[in-house]
Chains A and B, each alone.
Chain A
Amino acid sequence: MKALDRKLLRDLLRLWAQVAAIALVMAAGVMTLVLAVGAQRSLFETREAYYERNAFADIFATATRAPNRLGDEIAALPGVASVETRITQNAILDIEGMAEPASGMLVSVPDDGEQVLNRLYLRLGRLPAPGHPDEVVVNEPFANAHGFVPGDTFGAVINGRKRDLTIVGVALSPEFIYVVTDLMPDDRRLGLVWMSQTALSAAFDLDGAFNAISVKLLRGQSPDVVIDEIDRLLEPYGGRGAHDREDQQSHAFLDSELNQLQAMSYVLPPIFLLVAGFLVNMILSRLIALEREQIGLMKAVGYTGAAVAWHYLKLVIVIALLGVLVGASAGTLLGRGLTRLYGDFFHFPFLIFRAGVDIYLIAIVVSVSAAMLGALRSVRAAAALPPAVAMRPPAPARYRQLLPDGVPLLSLLPQTTVMIGRNIVRRPLRALFTSFGMSLSVAMLVGTLFALDSVDEMIDVTFFGAERQHATLSFVHKLPAEALYEAERLPGVLAAEPARMVAARFRNGHLERRLAITGKPGDSTLSRLLDVEGHEVTMPDEGVVLTTALAGILDVGRGDTVEVELMEEHRETVLLPVSAVVESYIGLGAYMDMDALNRLMREAPSISAVHVIADASRIDELYDAVKNLPLVGSITLQRAAVEKFRETMAENLIMMVTIYVGLAGIIAFGVVYNGARIQLSEQGRELASLRVLGFTRGEVSWILLGEFALLTLLALPMGWLLGYLMAYSTAEGLATELFRLPLVIQRSTYGWASVVVLVASALSALIVRRRIDRLDLIEVLKTRE
């Protein structure tokens, strides 16, 4: 080993604590990068492979009743590779030992068991046999939640008839990786039930017909043209508009998860690398200042400026590589862990881990670059230092009066405080960056933990402000308005309110969205409309009310006109004025006065769902009654879902908070520890002199740590502001048509973020304090700096 490399090694060992602190900050950056990209890619690849192997369709469409020959016509469309016609319906399931009714989604499989598209991944048993109409396959999560195995039975109300179904198989499906019942997935409450085509067509009087179709496109075929053609073909048969994968619930939700991981890989690593670069800059400029004479000597004996520069660059490269090593290992491990968690959550039948070599190369390149950029200035200075100048002591530091002479304020301050002020003023950039580095730590906490406040707000607004019903009973098809009275008479129902849903397509120029118009009575009190401020909006008698998200997508506002194509029975296109815009964080919504909607449909008052408030003490009676109501297709239990959602949130909360507190702590600790160590190296002699003069350990520590206390305090408001901006862009970035996060940051979130950073700073200060306590008082008297 060359002598210089040996020096390098010893420098690294001597500076181990600071090297470790910087490498840790780098490691955190690399870890988040590898973790997020690794998990994102693995999940993406897993999903793609799953789709490919099980022939997940590209286009989905539903109709009321379409003759089977239409399937052949659609199959013959240019660009279409294959189609599968199906029957899908909702049903209420009655499961032994479960008080509340479960919701079932019935999906047909071809009688011959040869699924062309959306093929089931059978985990247990077999597909239903022809001629056995009560044989079903259920999805694995549902089976697991109830301990079902082939041979078990459960009850279902299918098109008004109570039937006992026998499980013959347990399966997974690429089409239903993520399914929502009430608010989030609930394996217990939602069952996917695959039955033979013959059985379902008999049950729903759909002989020779289908009500759903899946289409696989030829490779490279754009879906838009085919969607238009399918819509045209299905229109006479109650077609509700075809859509591609983007609008398929399971696919869209997975996309949003993948986007979140991607966002994480864009936002977090740069923060750590920025801080690490700054720390490298601080430590290296101090090291070079201390080794000034050695640099002079090296040059005097003939080392070139470039050799000196390379020597110091090697030091920071080693630090960066240490960070990459730790970060990449942790990231790979945690990435696999996270992928497994997601895998379990989504019930993927298999997992493909794929981080990719490139991400490790990227990690190395960006980490080393960040370190080298941080080192650039001081290394350049070292390379340029003429040996004769280097051998002389550096020019003394220049200090300036904080205020002009004679200003009395200064004379009131103790000199120890004046020292703090002058140190900050002497190196304003360093002070600024130290403060900025810590503020990033605060910002990271505010910018991530705000999500908890926002979700709380979302729940409050959605379920305690707008949708205040405890449950919603949706009918298999629309019913006369009188059905409401029957619902009111159900046991345990305290209040009931009707709703009418009509499938529609909204258009403004080339902008369009497919969604149901929800008709509500003008005086509704359960399901209410709220404006952006959370105030109740009275349903206007005329016109349509849009949610802000939908209004944004269609680029319309109050007073504008929007084209609405009604997609049930009397299909026609009408122009409706936008009479109000309301806030909603979940999905897209369009609302009308129920009477106005009925008039528009030119039909007798009818309803498609009833919202109810239930007496909690009689809820089981209500559940029992619902299980035997022939016309209820599904039941949504909002209130129960909110409770469950909060529980799940609370579980995830601990992990999420731990991770982000740890990461933010690493930044705050790294910045304060390194800063204080360097300051101690610069001021150690001064502080020891003061100890000799009779200053106590506490007083001397204050001079050094007081500066960091001040910079930490300055960092807090800066961090709150940056955190707000981060939260803002996160909320914007994560907004999808499925859900949006309202930007809400509680004071307590700012408070906790500040506490974490204060504690991390205090801890690192305490460690440095121990070094101040051990200052050598005698050595200092003997040496000139």
Chain B
Amino acid sequence: MSDGPIYTIEGITKVYRTGEVEVHALRGVDLTIDAGEFIVLLGPSGSGKSTLVNILGGLDTVTDGKVFFRDEEITAFGDGELTKYRRDHVGFVFQFYNLVPSLTARENVSLVTEIAHDPMDPGEALEIAGLPADRHNHFPAQLSGGEQQRVAIARAIAKKPEVLLCDEPTGALDSKTGIRVLEALAQVNRELDTTVLVITHNMAVGRMADRVIHFADGSVARIEQNEKREAPASIAW
């Protein structure tokens, strides 16, 4: 761990209005996340963890409060600045991979490296993510779910982002494949010093994190600090 906080979150709330109904997704969250941390967000559906990650990723706005990425207040950004912020600093891994079906594995990664400042070679990113070289020129439809998620991770890390935001990255995978994906995330965190935030429903995943943040009803319920991070391989579910 190094460099002080990468995110400073000050009293953010988020209220969605759908028709006459108000949904309080976040009810005043204060949090500091240090650069290089591996954080797991746990909590039931609707507890606010996805909303927080979306706000941190510059995909959603707050109703109140402030979020700083290093010294910059991203909650004050407009659409163009948010796009640039995502492009330059953030990597995303989604539950359903969200690969471009018309591009091969390597091309899906190139898609991002082409617009990044100092990216790694797409092949190298795929290797780090653990996709065998003979699968690099396959289209997503020709890859298994686990393989597709590795492509997604490779795509997310290829631009060497400071932050990797993962929303249920193993949600659609069986446990064996899921563990491989988690190993890839741990490796990225370890070797590239990327701050990683992982949303999951799976309590066991928390054991590989530096900190586990429990969400309930739009607030941080409690934070667990792990003395020792376990290797994903030792986690079973």
Of the residues B86, B96, B110, contact of A692 by C-beta under 8 Å = B86
User: Closest Cβ of chain B: how far from A73's Cβ, in Å?
Assistant: 87
Contacts of B144 in A (CB 8 A): none
Query: Which of B69-77, B87-95, B221-229 touches A?
Result: B87-95
Q: Is the CB of A422 within 8 A of B102?
A: yes
Count of chain A residues with a beta carbon within 8 Å of a chain B beta carbon: 33
Residue of A nearest to B141 (CB): A396
Contacts of A777 in B (CB 8 A): 59-60
Q: Is the CB of A689 within 8 A of B98?
A: yes
Contacts of B108 in A (CB 8 A): 415
Query: Which of B32-40, B111-119, B186-194, B204-212 touches A?
Result: B111-119
Q: Is the CB of A693 within 8 A of B101?
A: no
In Å, the complex CA distance between A778 and B95 comes to 12
Residue of B nearest to A411 (CB): B110
User: In A393-440, which residues have CB < 8 Å from any B CB?
Assistant: 396-399, 401, 405, 414-416, 418-419, 422-423, 426
Q: Any chain A CB within 8 A of the CB of B63?
A: no
Of the residues A401, A405, A690, contact of B111 by C-beta under 8 Å = A690
Q: Any chain A CB within 8 A of the CB of B57?
A: yes
Q: Any chain A CB within 8 A of the CB of B103?
A: yes
Contacts of A695 in B (CB 8 A): 83, 87, 115
Q: Is the CB of A692 within 8 A of B140?
A: no
Total A-B pairs, Cβ < 8 A: 92
Q: Is the CB of A778 within 8 A of B100?
A: no
Q: Is the CB of A397 within 8 A of B87?
A: no
In Å, the complex CA distance between A382 and B206 comes to 46
In Å, the complex CA distance between A689 and B54 comes to 13
In Å, the complex CA distance between A221 and B158 comes to 91
User: Closest Cβ of chain A: how far from B57's Cβ, in Å?
Assistant: 7
Given A399-B141, A423-B102, verify A694-B90 contact (CB < 8 Å): yes
Q: Any chain B CB within 8 A of the CB of A782?
A: yes
In Å, the complex CA distance between A780 and B87 comes to 18
Q: Is the CB of A781 within 8 A of B94?
A: yes
Residue of A nearest to B93 (CB): A781
In Å, the complex CA distance between A782 and B172 comes to 11
Q: Is the CB of A415 within 8 A of B95?
A: no
In Å, the complex CA distance between A478 and B50 comes to 102
Contacts of B88 in A (CB 8 A): 694
In Å, the complex CA distance between A697 and B83 comes to 9
In Å, the complex CA distance between A599 and B86 comes to 97
Q: Any chain A CB within 8 A of the CB of B155?
A: yes
Chain B, interface residues (CB within 8 Å), range = 35 or more
Q: Is the CB of B103 within 8 A of A419?
A: yes
Contacts of B141 in A (CB 8 A): 396-399
Q: Any chain B CB within 8 A of the CB of A538?
A: no
Of the residues B98, B104, B111, contact of A780 by C-beta under 8 Å = B98
Contacts of B167 in A (CB 8 A): 781
Residue of B nearest to A406 (CB): B137
In Å, the complex CA distance between A204 and B205 comes to 118
Q: Is the CB of B60 within 8 A of A778?
A: yes
- Please report whether the interface of chain A is mostly helix, strand, loop or mixed according to DSSP: helix
User: Closest Cβ of chain A: how far from B17's Cβ, in Å?
Assistant: 15
0/1 per residue, B24-56, Cβ < 8 Å to A? 000000000000000000000000001000100
Contacts of B155 in A (CB 8 A): 693
In Å, the complex CA distance between A692 and B99 comes to 12
Q: Is the CB of A399 within 8 A of B102?
A: yes
Q: Any chain B CB within 8 A of the CB of A746?
A: no
Given A695-B115, A777-B59, verify A397-B98 contact (CB < 8 Å): no
Contacts of B104 in A (CB 8 A): 401
Q: Any chain A CB within 8 A of the CB of B80?
A: yes
Q: Is the CB of A419 within 8 A of B137?
A: no
Contacts of A397 in B (CB 8 A): 101-102, 141
Contacts of A401 in B (CB 8 A): 104, 137
In Å, the complex CA distance between A783 and B54 comes to 15
Q: Which A positions have Cβ atoms within 8 angstroms of B? A: 396-399, 401, 405, 414-416, 418-419, 422-423, 426, 685-686, 689-697, 699, 777-778, 780-784
Q: Which B positions have Cβ atoms within 8 angstroms of A? A: 50, 54, 57, 59-60, 79-80, 83-88, 90, 92, 94-96, 98, 100-104, 107-108, 110-112, 114-115, 137, 139-141, 155, 167, 172
Listed A/B pairs (7) with beta-carbon separation below 8 Å: A415-B103, A418-B103, A426-B102, A692-B86, A693-B87, A781-B92, A781-B95
Q: A422-B103, A777-B59 are in contact. List 15 more A-B contacts (CB 8 A).
A: A401-B104, A401-B137, A418-B103, A685-B98, A692-B59, A692-B92, A692-B98, A694-B112, A780-B98, A781-B54, A781-B92, A781-B98, A782-B50, A782-B95, A784-B172
